[in-house]
Each structure stands twice: as C-alpha cells, then as structure tokens.
Amino acid sequence: MSAALVMNMLPQQRRLARAALGLPNAERTSYRNKHYTSGKGDYHDAWVALQLHGLAVLGTDDGLAVFRLTRAGARLALEASEKVREADFLGVADA
C-alpha cells in the first residue's frame, strides 16, 4: 500500500511519530527524526506498521533498531502550524 492511500495514523503511531520528530516544542518545528526500539514489543510493532505503509524506514545503530519517518509520515504527524526541518530527512528515501 502506498503512503498516498493512508489517510491517518493510529493514535499510538502518531504519538510515537511526533516524539521521533521532537514535537511538540516552542518552535513548532522538528529537530530530529528517529526512534530507537529493542526490536520487539508494541512500539516496535507500531513502527513496523508505519514502515509497511511507506511512512517510516528502518535502520540500525549500535545493535538497536532505529526508525525514521519519511516526509509522508512526518506530514501525517504534524499539527496545522508545525513544520519539519529538511535536515531531519537527509538520507531518508520516501517510499
């Protein structure tokens, strides 16, 4: 399924996505784009679902799974007056 067909994230996925972006904050702008998981559990499963829909990508860092949102995933996590920094998406290919 392409990200264009996905209209909403589940509440847990949106909370995780916003935390990965460092939101909310006073500047209403992302300052990061990553979420580490141990590779199992509810959070990991929520991120895998986002990955399967093209809203996140998976990598590793020091043996931990690290998920990063695609631009499409970030757009779904933002509130109306928030924005993302392009630097947070360097090396992240949109699905």
Asked if residue 3 has pLDDT above 50, the reply is no
pLDDT value of position 64 = 84
| pLDDT above 90 as % of the chain | 75
Cα distances from 63 to residues 59, 73, 83, in angstroms, run 10, 24, 31
DSSP secondary structure string for all residues of 29-56: B-----EEE-S-SHHHHHHHHHHHTTSE
pLDDT in tens, 46-87: 999 999 999 999 998 888 889 999 999 999 999 999 999 999
Adjacent-strand bridge partners of 83: 29
Q: Over the stretch 11-56, which tens digit does the pLDDT of each residue have? A: 999 999 999 999 999 999 999 999 998 888 899 999 999 999 999 9
Reply yes or no: is the peptide bond before residue 11 cis, omega within 30 of 0: no
- Confirm whether pTM is higher than 0.85: yes
What is the C-alpha to C-alpha distance for residues 44 and 32, in angstroms, rounded to an integer? 18
